[in-house]
Structure 1
Amino acid sequence: MGATIPAGAWVEIERVLLQPEQRAAGLPPETASTPYVLRMNGFLTADAAEGDEVTVRSLVDHEHTGRLVRVDPHYDHSFGATVPELLRIGLPATSLSEAASQSDPDTATGEQAPGNEHGDEHGDGGAR
């Protein structure tokens, strides 16, 4: 048995909701062969150790039971490695909008177009 984790600690629990043989037909084989697992975070309601069956109270004040797997859980996922081809996707559009603003003298100097001194979309001072 590991170190005692005090009641009130922020922890992650997991509970198997469906075994592989209980899962719906038609799932891809790699999905169908794994259990359907609930993972959630909450505050321990009683002292426990990692691996114990525990009850936690969630942030929305619901109680859930499961096996204690982690104390002070954090997110450690990512979106994977950088894809160099995706880095430049927005650059042509940015270059085009910069070129357009440089060719428009009102935009380039920061001045408003004649008749649009109030900076409104329709040039009518907001009177509609």
Structure 2
Amino acid sequence: MKQVAKKNDWVRIMQIILTPEERLKSLPESTRKVPLKCWINGFLMDESASIGDTVNIETLAGRVVSGTLYQLWPQYDHSFGRQQPTLMHAGNEVRKIMKEADKNE
């Protein structure tokens, strides 16, 4: 089923910032051989578009940006990973150290 975005839908576009040929020669080969890409979220300004179409969007900051329609209604799905056991008690330990330091002044 082809996904079609309509005007004012929240979408994500992709832009190629640098092609492999434009990348620095000093980069590792595995990095240098792929394009540098950027993803930007905003509201679709075109009447309608499908994934892969070149579109214009308006970002929350009011910038108008062009790029390839990448995703419809993107959501934030990142995390900071699982809790690190080493850091679980760090805040309490720091507070205890600071409290002791205040007593010694």
Question: Could you tell me the TM-score, scaled by structure 1's length?
Answer: 0.64
Q: Which has the higher strand share?
A: 2
- State the distance in 1 between where 2:85 and 2:78 align: 20
Q: Secondary structure of the equivalent of 2:80?
A: coil
The structure number with the bigger radius of gyration is 1
Provide structure 1 residue ranges, at least 5 long, that are not aligned to the other structure: 104-128
Once the two structures are superposed, residues 5-61 of structure 1 have per-residue CA deviations (whole angstroms, 9 ceiling, x without a partner) of 211111100011212221123224443233111210111112111221111122233
Q: Secondary structure at the match of 2:6?
A: coil
1:67 and 1:44 map into 2 onto residues whose CA distance is 11
**Counterpart in 1 of 2:50?**
49
Counterpart-to-counterpart distance in 1, 2:99 and 2:34: 51
User: 1:39-118 alignment to 2 at 5 Å?
Assistant: 39-46=39-46, 47-96=48-97
Higher relative contact order (CA 8 A, sep 6+): 2
Superposed, 1:5-44 pairs within 5 Å as 5-44=5-44
Over the matched positions of the two proteins, sequence identity in percent amounts to 33
- Name the TM-score, length of structure 2 as normaliser: 0.76
Query: Structure 2 vs 1, CA of residues 60 and 89 (structure 1 numbering), >3 Å: closer, same or farther?
Result: closer
Task: Tell me, in whole angstroms, the C-alpha distance in 1 between the residues paired with 2:98 and 2:67.
Answer: 54
Instruction: Choose 82-91 or 7-16, whichever is displaced more.
Output: 82-91
Secondary structure of 2:5's aligned partner: coil
Structure 2 unaligned regions, length at least 5:
none
Q: Which amino acid aligns with 1:80?
A: G
Question: SS of 1:92's equivalent?
Answer: helix
Q: What's the CA shift for 1:91?
A: 2.6
CA distance in 1, matches of 2:87, 2:61: 39
